[in-house]
Amino acid sequence: MPAPVVLSGRNVRLEPLAPHHAEALAEAGGEDRTTYAFTPVPQGVEAARGYVERALGEQALGRVLPFAVISATSGRVVGATRFLDLDYWQGPLLWPPVPGVPYGDPATAVPDAAEIGNTWLAPRAQGTGINTEAKLLMLRHAFETWGVRRISFRADARNLRSRAAIERLGATCEGIRRAHSRGLDGVVRNTAFYSILDEEWPTVRDIIELRMSGTVSPAVLGRAPDAART
C-alpha cells in the first residue's frame, strides 16, 4: 500500500493526516458551515479526533491515504482530503476479482487506480486556488509517481459547486448513478461520477497549470477533455 507522503506547492501543503491535526481541523470545521451540506465535516474537537481516528484506521487497512490541507502562507490547517478506493491490477488474474488487495509485498505496492475525495475546506480557503493546487499535487503524485491508469471523482448530483470544480479540472463525466446511496441529509441521492485517464493526464495537467498561472484562454480551455460535460 502506498506510503504517506508530504505534497508541497506554492500555496498549499498536504501533510499525512495525524492526531495532532485534530484541534486545527475542529477550528477549520467550526467556521460558517453552510457550505458543508453535502460533505461530512467534523464539528468540535471530539468529533475531529474521531474523524482522524477513523481515517487512520482505514489507512491501516490500506483503504485510504488521508491528508490535512494546510495553507502555505499562514501555516494553518484549512481542511482535509484523501485518496480512497485504492485498487490494484497487478499479478495473476483472479475471478472474481478482489478489489483493494495488492499483489506481492503490500508495503511496496502502489495502486493502479484510485479516487480523490472526502475533500472539504474552511470557508476562508474556498475560492483561493488552494483546492485546485491540492488536486494538482495529488493528481501529479498519482499519475507520475504511482503510475495509475485512472483517477476517479464523485459528487452528490445536487452539489453543483463540487461538480463544477471537478469539471474545471478537465475530468470526464461518466454519468449519473440514480438512487446510488443515502446522502448526508438522509435523502437517497443520485451520484455524478467523473474520471481522468493516464493518457488524458498531460493535457489535463497543462490546463490546470495554465489556469493557476492566470494565462489560460477560452480556446485553450476548450482542449480539456470533456471539461464542461455534465
Convert the pLDDT of each residue in 66-110 to its tens digit.
999 999 999 999 999 999 999 999 888 878 877 778 888 887 889
What pLDDT score was predicted for residue 197?
98
What pLDDT score was predicted for residue 222?
39
The residue with cell 475533500 is 119
Write out the chain in H/E/C secondary structure: CCCCCCEECCCEEEEECCHHHHHHHHHHHCCCHHHHCCCCCCCCHHHHHHHHHHHHHHHHCCCEEEEEEEECCCCCEEEEEEEEEEECCCCCCCCCCCCCCCCCCCCCCCCCEEEEEEEEECHHHCCCCHHHHHHHHHHHHHHHHHCCCEEEEEEECCCHHHHHHHHHCCCEEEEEEEEEEECCCCCEEEEEEEEEECCCHHHHHHHHHHHHHCCCCHHHHCCCCCCCCC
Whether residue 96 is preceded by a cis peptide bond, meaning omega within 30 degrees of 0, is yes
What pLDDT score was predicted for residue 184?
87
Residue 89 lies in a domain: yes
Residue 227 lies in a domain: no
Whether this prediction's pTM lies above 0.85 is answered by yes
What CATH number is attached to the domain comprising 20? 3.40.630.30
**Total count of domains within the chain:** 1
Residue 164 lies in a domain: yes
Residue 1 lies in a domain: no
Q: What pLDDT tens digit does each residue of the chain (230 aa) get?
A: 788 999 999 999 999 999 999 999 999 999 888 888 888 999 999 999 999 999 999 999 889 999 999 999 999 999 999 999 999 998 888 788 777 788 888 878 899 999 999 999 999 999 899 999 999 999 999 999 999 999 999 999 999 999 999 999 999 999 999 999 999 889 999 999 999 999 999 999 999 999 888 744 443 333 333 333 32
**What is the residue range of 120's domain?**
7-215
